[in-house]
Protein backbone atom coordinates (compact mmCIF):
# COMPACT_ATOMS: atom_id res chain seq x y z
CA UNK A 1 0.00 0.00 0.00
CA UNK A 2 2.80 2.41 0.92
CA UNK A 3 4.64 1.57 -2.32
CA UNK A 4 1.51 2.30 -4.35
CA UNK A 5 1.03 5.63 -2.54
CA UNK A 6 4.61 6.70 -3.36
CA UNK A 7 4.12 5.73 -6.99
CA UNK A 8 0.95 7.82 -7.18
CA UNK A 9 2.76 10.77 -5.62
CA UNK A 10 5.58 10.50 -8.16
CA UNK A 11 3.12 10.34 -11.04
CA UNK A 12 1.28 13.37 -9.70
CA UNK A 13 4.53 15.30 -9.37
CA UNK A 14 5.52 14.41 -12.94
CA UNK A 15 2.13 15.54 -14.24
CA UNK A 16 2.43 18.79 -12.29
CA UNK A 17 5.90 19.49 -13.76
CA UNK A 18 4.60 18.79 -17.25
CA UNK A 19 1.72 21.21 -16.68
CA UNK A 20 4.16 23.90 -15.51
CA UNK A 21 6.25 23.41 -18.64
CA UNK A 22 3.14 23.60 -20.81
CA UNK A 23 2.17 26.86 -19.11
CA UNK A 24 5.65 28.28 -19.73
CA UNK A 25 5.35 27.75 -23.50
CA UNK A 26 4.53 30.99 -25.27
CA UNK A 27 1.03 31.20 -26.70
CA UNK A 28 1.62 34.28 -28.84
CA UNK A 29 2.65 33.69 -32.43
CA UNK A 30 6.01 34.89 -33.62
CA UNK A 31 9.50 34.01 -34.72
CA UNK A 32 10.12 31.60 -31.86
CA UNK A 33 6.61 30.38 -31.25
CA UNK A 34 6.38 27.23 -29.13
CA UNK A 35 9.38 27.89 -26.92
CA UNK A 36 9.25 28.57 -23.22
CA UNK A 37 9.41 32.23 -22.33
CA UNK A 38 12.94 31.77 -21.05
CA UNK A 39 14.18 30.12 -24.23
CA UNK A 40 12.34 32.57 -26.46
CA UNK A 41 13.91 35.44 -24.52
CA UNK A 42 17.37 33.88 -25.01
CA UNK A 43 17.01 33.65 -28.80
CA UNK A 44 15.52 37.16 -28.94
CA UNK A 45 18.56 38.66 -27.21
CA UNK A 46 20.94 36.45 -29.21
CA UNK A 47 19.33 37.77 -32.40
CA UNK A 48 20.05 41.33 -31.29
CA UNK A 49 23.61 40.47 -30.18
CA UNK A 50 24.42 38.93 -33.55
CA UNK A 51 23.08 42.01 -35.32
CA UNK A 52 25.30 44.22 -33.16
CA UNK A 53 28.31 42.12 -34.15
CA UNK A 54 27.50 42.47 -37.82
CA UNK A 55 26.71 38.86 -38.68
CA UNK A 56 25.31 38.21 -42.16
CA UNK A 57 21.50 38.24 -42.10
CA UNK A 58 20.98 34.87 -43.82
CA UNK A 59 23.69 33.15 -41.81
CA UNK A 60 22.22 34.53 -38.59
CA UNK A 61 18.74 33.27 -39.46
CA UNK A 62 20.04 29.81 -40.32
CA UNK A 63 21.81 29.60 -36.95
CA UNK A 64 18.79 30.82 -35.01
CA UNK A 65 16.48 28.44 -36.87
CA UNK A 66 18.73 25.50 -36.04
CA UNK A 67 18.85 26.48 -32.36
CA UNK A 68 15.08 27.09 -32.37
CA UNK A 69 14.32 23.60 -33.69
CA UNK A 70 16.77 22.05 -31.24
CA UNK A 71 15.25 23.86 -28.27
CA UNK A 72 11.73 22.79 -29.24
CA UNK A 73 12.85 19.18 -28.99
CA UNK A 74 14.80 19.32 -25.73
CA UNK A 75 12.93 21.88 -23.65
CA UNK A 76 10.30 19.27 -22.74
CA UNK A 77 13.09 17.44 -20.95
CA UNK A 78 13.78 20.50 -18.81
CA UNK A 79 16.72 21.91 -20.81
CA UNK A 80 17.12 25.65 -21.19
CA UNK A 81 18.97 27.64 -23.84
CA UNK A 82 21.43 29.01 -21.29
CA UNK A 83 22.27 25.52 -20.12
CA UNK A 84 22.82 24.30 -23.68
CA UNK A 85 24.62 27.29 -25.19
CA UNK A 86 25.95 29.38 -22.32
CA UNK A 87 25.41 33.13 -21.75
CA UNK A 88 24.02 35.08 -24.69
CA UNK A 89 27.01 37.39 -25.21
CA UNK A 90 29.52 34.55 -25.02
CA UNK A 91 27.51 32.50 -27.53
CA UNK A 92 27.26 35.46 -29.87
CA UNK A 93 31.02 36.01 -29.70
CA UNK A 94 31.66 32.32 -30.39
CA UNK A 95 29.31 32.30 -33.39
CA UNK A 96 30.93 35.39 -34.93
CA UNK A 97 34.60 34.88 -34.01
CA UNK A 98 34.67 31.09 -33.82
CA UNK A 99 35.41 28.91 -30.77
CA UNK A 100 38.00 30.34 -28.43
CA UNK A 101 41.38 28.71 -28.94
CA UNK A 102 43.04 27.35 -25.86
CA UNK A 103 46.49 28.75 -25.38
CA UNK A 104 49.15 26.08 -25.39
CA UNK A 105 50.98 25.74 -22.13
CA UNK A 106 54.51 27.05 -22.43
CA UNK A 107 57.19 24.42 -22.73
CA UNK A 108 58.91 23.76 -19.46
CA UNK A 109 62.70 23.92 -19.36
CA UNK A 110 64.04 20.51 -18.43
CA UNK A 111 66.81 19.77 -16.01
CA UNK A 112 70.28 19.70 -17.49
CA UNK A 113 70.88 16.02 -16.78
CA UNK A 114 67.57 15.05 -18.42
CA UNK A 115 68.50 16.90 -21.62
CA UNK A 116 71.99 15.37 -21.52
CA UNK A 117 70.58 11.86 -21.06
CA UNK A 118 68.10 12.32 -23.89
CA UNK A 119 70.70 13.54 -26.38
CA UNK A 120 73.28 11.03 -25.20
CA UNK A 121 70.88 8.17 -25.89
CA UNK A 122 70.04 9.57 -29.31
CA UNK A 123 73.73 9.78 -30.24
CA UNK A 124 74.32 6.28 -28.83
CA UNK A 125 71.57 4.88 -31.05
CA UNK A 126 72.87 6.72 -34.13
CA UNK A 127 76.47 5.63 -33.57
CA UNK A 128 75.44 2.01 -33.00
CA UNK A 129 73.39 2.02 -36.19
CA UNK A 130 76.26 3.63 -38.12
CA UNK A 131 78.88 1.19 -36.78
CA UNK A 132 76.58 -1.71 -37.58
CA UNK A 133 76.11 -0.58 -41.19
CA UNK A 134 79.82 0.08 -41.59
CA UNK A 135 80.53 -3.42 -40.32
CA UNK A 136 78.02 -5.13 -42.59
CA UNK A 137 78.71 -3.22 -45.79
CA UNK A 138 82.04 -1.42 -45.36
CA UNK A 139 84.41 -4.34 -45.06
CA UNK A 140 87.00 -5.05 -42.40
CA UNK A 141 88.86 -1.74 -42.78
CA UNK A 142 85.68 0.26 -42.22
CA UNK A 143 84.85 -1.88 -39.20
CA UNK A 144 88.20 -1.09 -37.59
CA UNK A 145 87.84 2.61 -38.44
CA UNK A 146 84.51 2.79 -36.62
CA UNK A 147 86.19 2.58 -33.23
CA UNK A 148 85.48 0.31 -30.30
CA UNK A 149 83.09 0.26 -27.42
CA UNK A 150 85.01 2.92 -25.45
CA UNK A 151 84.78 5.27 -28.44
CA UNK A 152 81.06 4.58 -28.66
CA UNK A 153 80.36 5.32 -24.98
CA UNK A 154 82.69 8.33 -24.73
CA UNK A 155 81.41 10.10 -27.82
CA UNK A 156 77.80 9.46 -26.79
CA UNK A 157 78.40 10.94 -23.32
CA UNK A 158 80.32 13.95 -24.68
CA UNK A 159 77.66 14.57 -27.31
CA UNK A 160 74.86 14.34 -24.75
CA UNK A 161 76.49 16.71 -22.28
CA UNK A 162 77.70 19.06 -25.02
CA UNK A 163 74.30 19.35 -26.70
CA UNK A 164 72.61 19.84 -23.32
CA UNK A 165 75.01 22.71 -22.65
CA UNK A 166 74.32 24.14 -26.11
CA UNK A 167 70.52 23.95 -25.71
CA UNK A 168 70.71 25.52 -22.25
CA UNK A 169 72.94 28.33 -23.52
CA UNK A 170 70.51 29.01 -26.38
CA UNK A 171 67.47 29.44 -24.14
CA UNK A 172 66.10 33.00 -24.49
CA UNK A 173 66.60 33.85 -20.81
CA UNK A 174 70.25 32.82 -21.05
CA UNK A 175 70.91 34.17 -24.53
CA UNK A 176 69.52 37.59 -23.64
CA UNK A 177 72.18 37.99 -20.96
CA UNK A 178 74.79 38.44 -23.69
CA UNK A 179 75.13 41.68 -25.61
CA UNK A 180 76.23 40.02 -28.84
CA UNK A 181 73.93 37.03 -29.20
CA UNK A 182 75.23 35.77 -32.53
CA UNK A 183 78.83 35.90 -31.36
CA UNK A 184 77.87 33.89 -28.28
CA UNK A 185 76.05 31.31 -30.40
CA UNK A 186 79.01 30.89 -32.79
CA UNK A 187 81.56 30.63 -29.98
CA UNK A 188 79.41 28.07 -28.14
CA UNK A 189 79.15 25.96 -31.29
CA UNK A 190 82.90 26.12 -31.95
CA UNK A 191 83.68 25.20 -28.34
CA UNK A 192 81.31 22.22 -28.51
CA UNK A 193 82.90 20.91 -31.72
CA UNK A 194 86.43 21.49 -30.40
CA UNK A 195 85.84 19.55 -27.19
CA UNK A 196 84.23 16.71 -29.12
CA UNK A 197 87.17 16.45 -31.53
CA UNK A 198 89.78 16.54 -28.75
CA UNK A 199 88.03 13.79 -26.78
CA UNK A 200 87.57 11.71 -29.92
CA UNK A 201 91.30 12.08 -30.69
CA UNK A 202 92.34 11.07 -27.17
CA UNK A 203 90.08 8.03 -27.19
CA UNK A 204 91.57 6.99 -30.53
CA UNK A 205 94.93 6.63 -28.74
CA UNK A 206 93.60 3.82 -26.56
CA UNK A 207 95.00 0.46 -27.71
CA UNK A 208 92.68 -1.67 -29.82
CA UNK A 209 93.15 -4.52 -27.37
CA UNK A 210 91.24 -2.46 -24.80
CA UNK A 211 88.98 -0.43 -27.08
CA UNK A 212 87.66 -3.57 -28.76
CA UNK A 213 85.57 -3.21 -31.92
CA UNK A 214 82.34 -5.12 -31.53
CA UNK A 215 80.65 -7.16 -34.24
CA UNK A 216 78.02 -5.47 -36.46
CA UNK A 217 75.31 -7.70 -35.00
CA UNK A 218 76.11 -6.53 -31.45
CA UNK A 219 76.05 -2.89 -32.57
CA UNK A 220 72.66 -3.50 -34.19
CA UNK A 221 71.35 -5.08 -30.99
CA UNK A 222 72.70 -2.18 -28.92
CA UNK A 223 70.92 0.28 -31.25
CA UNK A 224 67.61 -1.52 -30.68
CA UNK A 225 68.18 -1.71 -26.92
CA UNK A 226 69.10 1.98 -26.82
CA UNK A 227 65.93 2.86 -28.70
CA UNK A 228 63.84 0.83 -26.25
CA UNK A 229 65.53 2.45 -23.23
CA UNK A 230 64.94 5.94 -24.60
CA UNK A 231 61.30 5.12 -25.42
CA UNK A 232 60.78 3.92 -21.85
CA UNK A 233 62.52 6.91 -20.27
CA UNK A 234 60.63 9.32 -22.52
CA UNK A 235 57.41 8.28 -20.80
CA UNK A 236 59.02 8.55 -17.35
CA UNK A 237 61.04 11.75 -17.76
CA UNK A 238 59.09 13.45 -20.55
CA UNK A 239 61.91 14.09 -23.00
CA UNK A 240 61.22 17.21 -25.04
CA UNK A 241 62.61 17.93 -28.47
CA UNK A 242 61.50 21.56 -28.53
CA UNK A 243 62.85 24.20 -26.17
CA UNK A 244 61.38 27.64 -25.77
Q: What is the pLDDT of residues 233-242, one digit of tens each?
A: 888 887 765 3
Rounded distance between C-alpha atoms, residue 81 and residue 38, angstroms: 8
Q: Which residues contact 234 (CB under 8 A, 6 or more apart)?
A: 118
Please state the domain extents for the chain: 12-97, 107-237
Query: What letters, b where the CB count within 10 A reaches 16 and e where it falls short, cover 131-147?
Result: bbbbbeebeeeebeebb
For residue 132, the model assigns a pLDDT of 87
User: Which of the residues in the chain have pLDDT under 50?
Assistant: 1-2, 4, 18-28, 103-107, 142, 242-244
- Model confidence pLDDT, tens digit, residues 189-227: 888 788 878 887 887 788 888 888 888 899 999 999 999
End-to-end alpha-carbon separation of the chain, Å?
72
pLDDT of residue 226: 93
Helix (H, G, I), strand (E, B) or coil at 179: coil
Amino acid sequence: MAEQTNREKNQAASQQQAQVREQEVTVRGGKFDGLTKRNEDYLFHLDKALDERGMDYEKKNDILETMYQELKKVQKQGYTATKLYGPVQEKAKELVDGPAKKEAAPAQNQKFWVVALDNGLIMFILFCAMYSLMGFFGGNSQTQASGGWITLLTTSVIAGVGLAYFYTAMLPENLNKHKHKWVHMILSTIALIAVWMVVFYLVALIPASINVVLSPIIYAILAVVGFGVRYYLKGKLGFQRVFR
